[in-house]
Amino acid sequence: MDINSFFNVFSTTPADRAEAERRNWAEHRRRCASARDWDWKTRFTPEMNLTAVSWDAKPLFPGVPTTDCGNPAKSLDYLDSPCGQFRYTNAVLTPPHKLRVGWGLMRGTVVWDGPVTIPRLHQRDEVGRWGAGDFRNYECHPWMSITPSEIITQRSGVRHAKGHVVVGGLGLGWLLERVEERKKVECITLVEVNQGLVDWLLPVLRARMGDTPIKVIVGDVDEVVPKLTADVCLLDVYPYYGSNGQHRDKLDRESPNVKHFWAWGGHKER
């Protein structure tokens, strides 16, 4: 719950809340009247209205029951990695839920005309909280969730992929899978800092991929990438969207044998 919703609960009457709920549903119905099918090429718009039937985020573990609880610490349905550090959920979003979406400096929301499943990956920190970094909404923020926002903001990276591609950061492997599918890609080097995540997810991903060679280096991109030779390096090791261009440019300067760099949230989306 954000701070405004929190205070609204206490500062409004039941009638106000019922009116807010009615408006919410009215807006949802208005938006669903123009719902369109989602596909790889769907463009960002501040109001994205999608059909639920067209949304297929391809869960890594389809057998994990869906959960309507956004908090991985409280959800009853999940799958934990053997190393105990990672938790996977199939989160279900039900109408009239509005999901935030960003592209470059623009922001908007997505609604679907029915329930949809969003695969998510969370990481436990050393004191047992579920998050991927220094998040304000610490208990709930995933490393990766397969949403229109994640897809729209990563596909510019996919379009750069050719020859030998370095993928920095595994997450749920969405980017890795899209890179692997490209005909122009000859081989991939995956650089991921967490051995437990690689051991858990890579076999699952490999089983549904083609046969493009993938070399795995477990390590920190800052130390590994400057020593590599490659055509392109696609970086997504970031908990936050935006302002990752500085890190990309620093690695670019330090890596004389990597021809081109792209970073998620580096604000060069086209």
Residue 216: strand pairing partners: 190
Nearer residue to ligand SAM within complex by CB, 112 or 174: 174
CB of 129 to ligand SAM, least distance (A): 16
In terms of DSSP bridges, do strands 66-67 and 86-93 run parallel, antiparallel, or are they unpaired? Answer: parallel
C-beta closer to ligand SAM: residue 54 or 85: 85
Contact residues for ligand SAM (CB under 6 A)?
Answer: 143-144, 154, 168-175, 191-194, 197, 220-222, 236-237
Closest residue to ligand SAM, judged by C-beta, is 171
Cα 125 from Cα 141, distance rounded (Å): 12
Least distance (Å) between residue 234 CB and ligand SAM: 8
Report the DSSP pairing between strands 79-80 and 185-192: unpaired
Nearer to ligand SAM, 161 or 170 (CB): 170
Furthest C-alpha separation in the chain:
64
CB of 223 to ligand SAM, least distance (A): 8
* Sequence-distant (≥ 6) Cβ neighbours of residue 54 within 8 angstroms: 36, 37, 38, 39
Is 35 or 263 the residue whose CB approaches ligand SAM more closely?
263
DSSP 160: H
For the CB of residue 222, give the shortest distance to ligand SAM in the complex, in Å.
6
Beta-carbon contacts of residue 39 (< 8 Å; ≥ 6 apart): 54
CB of 133 to ligand SAM, least distance (A): 8
- Cβ proximity to ligand SAM: between 180 and 236 the closer is 236
Q: In this structure, are residues 113 and 35 in contact, taking their beta carbons and an 8 Å threshold?
A: yes
